[in-house]
């Protein structure tokens, strides 16, 4: 349990550091973004899968 908490915090920390760079890359093909009544909605399905795999890999390394 403690190992997964460390992985979670490490992933959130790394994502926080890399977020400005990731926003410059744009969105992945599986990310959905649309406007409805003047508001923009984003559903980053591909990004979530990618970061989940990254977190699992980091957990495997620990």
Structure tokens at 28: 């992945």
Confidence of residue 10 (pLDDT cuts 50, 70, 90): confident
Q: Is residue 39 pLDDT above 80, yes or no? A: yes
Q: How much is the pTM? A: 0.51
Cα–Cα distances in angstroms (integers) from residue 62 to residues 17, 19, 55, in the given order: 20, 23, 11
**Burial environment of residue 50 by CB neighbours within 10 A (0 to 12, 13 to 18, 19 or more):** middle
**pLDDT attached to residue 5:** 87
How many Cα atoms are found within 13 Å in the side-chain-facing hemisphere of 32?
6
| Partners of 34 in the β-ladder | 41
Instruction: In whole angstroms, give the CA distance from residue 50 to residue 34.
Output: 21
pLDDT recorded at residue 44: 77
Return the pLDDT at 1: 77
């Amino acid at each position: 349990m403690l190992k997964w908490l460390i992985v979670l915090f490490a992933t959130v920390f790394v994502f926080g550091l890399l977020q400005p760079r990731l926003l410059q890359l744009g969105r992945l093909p599986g990310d959905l973004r649309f406007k409805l009544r003047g508001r923009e909605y984003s559903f980053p399905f591909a990004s979530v899968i990618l970061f989940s795999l990254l977190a699992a890999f980091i957990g495997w390394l620990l």
